[in-house]
Structure 1
Amino acid sequence: MPRPAPSPSLPGHLQDLTDRARGYVEAASSANTRKAYASDWKHFAAWCRRSSLPLLPPHPQTIGLYITACSSGTAERGGKPNSVSTIGRRLSSLSWNYTQRGQQLDRKDRHIATVMAGIRNSHARPPVQKEAVMAADIIAMIETLDRSTLRGMRDRAMLLVGYAGGLRRSEIVGLDVKADQTEDGRGWIEIFDKGMLVTLRGKTGWRQVEVGRGSSDATCPVVAVETWIRFAKLGHGPLFRRVTGQGKSIGAERLNDKEIARLVKRAVVAAGVRGDLSELERALKFSGHSLRAGLASSADVDERYVQKQLGHASAEMTRRYQRRRDRFRINLTKAAGL
């Protein structure tokens, strides 16, 4: 993140406000987002140096050439063509970085917008969807985990909460034991007799997800979380942490969200899910997103409830997650009299 230019000496109370304002700026985006923005800016700066083009101020022609280089794989030495989604993210990163430097990048300028439209038309493909883990799959997956170890308890809780809550991997590891306990937390849990309330902070604000108790303690996400908290002796801070000391100690730092993807891949292979595929093929087809897709594909309830649970703004987005739904259950042709 760029540092603001040094300001003249300020009275103490104004300096306090300045420091607080800087904290709010950082809080406006997640640490992962800021890291990605910094990486993209570094990538762009390196390309400008090699191309003998000025980095500042923002020139639409320069940006147009840069995204063309990204799409063709020439933006870095030995590079590969970037996907349309990656180029779109790089544009967002440049816009944000220029704004932090008090300058504006006009993404609607024809040198940028027209080139970007051409890239989309030429290279855009339907998104590659990860395969969903269904109810029977998730039950088989948790059965491969040792219930008697801390790591097994933690992993069972993460899989079941991620599945039942339809949570993103970053939302799973971003949970705290209770409200407002850490600066980097993305939410917290509250446990009640009938289930668990998960409060999450997303890109568009706060939302709450209800995770009800299951029909069996062996597959209940709430029981799994309660068991993990009890044996890990957690009372404060991140909910899901690294297990250290040969599986006997609990670390203080929260897990990285990539651990969720690794856990899903390992458990899928161990449980024999999609045994018709090779281990490599399964590693490519399944990820942390498979939990979210699994809930959307398995829950036999009104689509509105699934949409609310996943936090989607539209039903169309929810349908993209439903891998095995009957697309013709509602037949408008017959309903129209044909």
Structure 2
Amino acid sequence: MSKEPDVELVVVQNLENALAAKIETYFADVIDSQPDVLEELLRSKNSEGTRRAYRRDITDFFNRMTGQPPQCDSILEFLHLEGHKATLVVTKYRAILNEAGLSPNTINRRLAAIKSLIAFGRKLGVCNYAVDVDSIPVQSYRDTSGCTGEEFLNVIKGCDRSTLAGKRDYALLLLLWGNALRRNEISTLDLRHFDGSKGTLSILGKGKLSRVTINLPKVTVTAITDWLIARGGDMSSSRPLFTSVDFQNSGHRLTGDGIYKIVKRLFKRAGVEKHMSPHRCRHSAITAVLEKTDGNVRKAQKLSRHVKLNTLQIYDDNRNRDQLEMSELLMDGLD
């Protein structure tokens, strides 16, 4: 007699047993443990800068409303509140920030961080509400001014390229000016992201998960190459493209804060009255392109990589506002 039916019966029985097995047998530790919602939220963010901002803003909320920094238990207690009570807490927090004189942008950013925490709590099944708290109205005008193109070029030319620091700073300024890069886009660059033979750079844009390739002017390619040759040392592909050169931190990756301090120092040394930062450098470059193209926002978009043209329109509106101010100045004394 054939034994095949017995084998089939065993297979079917094994499948039935597997389907009947309780999931908790294998995932009990995961299911029974209370989730650390804040840490899970932060891990879901790709950018280190975004993680720092969320941690800072959520910590501010718990410090102000409970007198203590956020802990797993206090976060879960907040997320387990009834919806109307949670809305009341966040509304009071909004009023506290407003009375403290914080800017609308700062208040709105902190409210957004709290709402993100709540939304993530809903995803994890530890929260069943959403707070309906309005943001603070923000004026559409924002200061997108930087320095003039002439001032910027003078600062670039002022770099002492006979020194290692001067070679690095020269290359940094060219990226800030010629490609309008953000400081985090520069600080996250490794050697493998620079292709001198093709004249390209692979950058991780704001809020992006994958890198995009941009083209570099020849002068920038030469400047980066000169900096790397002068720096020497370990040239493995995972090494940072830009590093510190001071005695204490030599060879370590140049952080966004480090780039900010370099920019501030160079422009102050050159006598530029405007308080300059890497982002104001970006503003300066975008405004200069709009000036040279007679307000062509689409060409400016190619440089800035802004997704929305409306953002570039703000730059152009502010540029025209400066023009009107100068025109009025010329008319001083006339009726």
TM-score by length of 2: 0.69
Question: Is 2:135 the partner of 1:88?
Answer: no
Q: Secondary structure at the match of 1:208?
A: strand
Q: What residue number does 1:16 align with?
A: none
Q: Once the 2 structures are TM-superposed, how far is the Cα of residue 165 of structure 1 from its aligned partner? A: 1.0
Q: Once the 2 structures are TM-superposed, how far is the Cα of residue 322 of structure 1 from its aligned partner? A: 4.5
Give the letter aligned to residue 78 of structure 2.
L
Q: Which of 274, 277, 293 is equivalent to 1:287?
A: 277
Q: Secondary structure at the match of 2:155?
A: helix
Give the letter aligned to residue 307 of structure 1.
Q
Asked if the contact 1:130–1:289 (Cα under 8 Å) also holds between the matched residues in 2, the reply is no
Question: Is 2:315 the partner of 1:321?
Answer: yes
Q: Secondary structure at the match of 1:308?
A: helix
Question: For 1:303 and 1:31, how far apart are their aligned partners in 2?
Answer: 30
How do residues 91-106 of structure 1 correspond to structure 2 at under 5 angstroms? 91-101=111-121, 102=124, 103=127, 106=130
Question: For 2:304 and 2:149, how far apart are their aligned partners in 1?
Answer: 17
Q: Deviations over 1:83-121 (max 9, x none)?
A: 1111111122112323444325524x2xx13xx3xx32x
Asked if the contact 2:143–2:318 (Cα under 8 Å) also holds between the matched residues in 1, the reply is no
Question: For 1:41 and 1:147, how far apart are their aligned partners in 2?
Answer: 44
Question: For 1:268 and 1:41, how far apart are their aligned partners in 2?
Answer: 34
Asked if the contact 1:240–1:254 (Cα under 8 Å) also holds between the matched residues in 2, the reply is yes
Q: Once the 2 structures are TM-superposed, how far is the Cα of residue 212 of structure 1 from its aligned partner? A: 2.2
Distance 1:25 1:49, change over 3 A: closer
Q: Which of 96, 104, 129 is equivalent to 1:69?
A: 96
Give the letter aligned to residue 57 of structure 1.
H
Q: Once the 2 structures are TM-superposed, how far is the Cα of residue 63 of structure 1 from its aligned partner? A: 0.9
Question: For 1:66 and 1:25, how far apart are their aligned partners in 2?
Answer: 22
Q: Which of 135, 139, 150 is equivalent to 1:136?
A: 150
Q: Secondary structure at the match of 2:303?
A: helix
Distance 1:321 1:171, change over 3 A: farther
Distance 1:25 1:127, change over 3 A: same
Q: Secondary structure at the match of 1:209?
A: strand
Distance 1:157 1:24, change over 3 A: farther
Question: For 2:128 and 2:231, how far apart are their aligned partners in 1?
Answer: 49
Deviates more, 1:93-102 or 1:28-37: 93-102
The number of aligned residues is: 267
Asked if the contact 2:42–2:51 (Cα under 8 Å) also holds between the matched residues in 1, the reply is no
Q: Once the 2 structures are TM-superposed, how far is the Cα of residue 321 of structure 1 from its aligned partner? A: 3.2
Give the letter aligned to residue 286 of structure 2.
A
Q: What residue number does 1:26 align with?
A: 43
Q: What residue number does 2:207 align with?
A: 203
Identity %: 26
Which structure shows the bigger proportion of residues in strand conformation?
1
Q: Secondary structure at the match of 1:60?
A: helix
Q: Secondary structure at the match of 2:204?
A: strand
Asked if the contact 2:46–2:209 (Cα under 8 Å) also holds between the matched residues in 1, the reply is no
Question: For 1:202 and 1:323, how far apart are their aligned partners in 2?
Answer: 23
Question: Is 2:59 the partner of 1:45?
Answer: no
Give the letter aligned to residue 244 of structure 2.
R
Q: Once the 2 structures are TM-superposed, how far is the Cα of residue 128 of structure 1 from its aligned partner? A: 4.5
Asked if the contact 1:212–1:222 (Cα under 8 Å) also holds between the matched residues in 2, the reply is yes
Question: For 1:325 and 1:45, how far apart are their aligned partners in 2?
Answer: 41
Q: Once the 2 structures are TM-superposed, how far is the Cα of residue 255 of structure 1 from its aligned partner? A: 1.7
Q: Once the 2 structures are TM-superposed, how far is the Cα of residue 174 of structure 1 from its aligned partner? A: 1.7
Question: Is 2:255 the partner of 1:238?
Answer: no
Q: Deviations over 1:53-110 (max 9, x none)?
A: x63425112111111111111xxxxxxx221111111122112323444325524x2x
TM-score by length of 1: 0.68
Q: Secondary structure at the match of 1:90?
A: helix
Distance 1:148 1:105, change over 3 A: farther
Question: Is 2:195 the partner of 1:163?
Answer: no
How do residues 162-241 of structure 1 correspond to structure 2 at under 5 angstroms? 162-178=176-192, 188-193=193-198, 195-206=199-210, 207-213=212-218, 220-233=219-232, 234-236=235-237, 237-241=239-243
Which structure shows the bigger proportion of residues in helix conformation?
2
Q: Once the 2 structures are TM-superposed, how far is the Cα of residue 243 of structure 1 from its aligned partner? A: 0.9
Q: Secondary structure at the match of 2:244?
A: strand
Asked if the contact 2:190–2:241 (Cα under 8 Å) also holds between the matched residues in 1, the reply is yes
Q: Once the 2 structures are TM-superposed, how far is the Cα of residue 149 of structure 1 from its aligned partner? A: 1.5
Q: Which of 290, 306, 311 is equivalent to 2:305?
A: 311
Distance 1:48 1:128, change over 3 A: same
Question: For 2:148 and 2:196, how far apart are their aligned partners in 1?
Answer: 25
Q: Once the 2 structures are TM-superposed, how far is the Cα of residue 130 of structure 1 from its aligned partner? A: 5.0
Asked if the contact 2:146–2:283 (Cα under 8 Å) also holds between the matched residues in 1, the reply is yes
Q: Which runs of no fewer than 5 residues in structure 2 stay unpaired?
A: 1-26, 31-38, 69-73, 324-335
Q: Deviations over 1:243-296 (max 9, x none)?
A: 1338xx842x322212223222222222233xxx4xxxx33xx22112212221
Q: Once the 2 structures are TM-superposed, how far is the Cα of residue 25 of structure 1 from its aligned partner? A: 7.1
Q: Secondary structure at the match of 1:198?
A: strand
Q: What residue number does 1:14 align with?
A: none
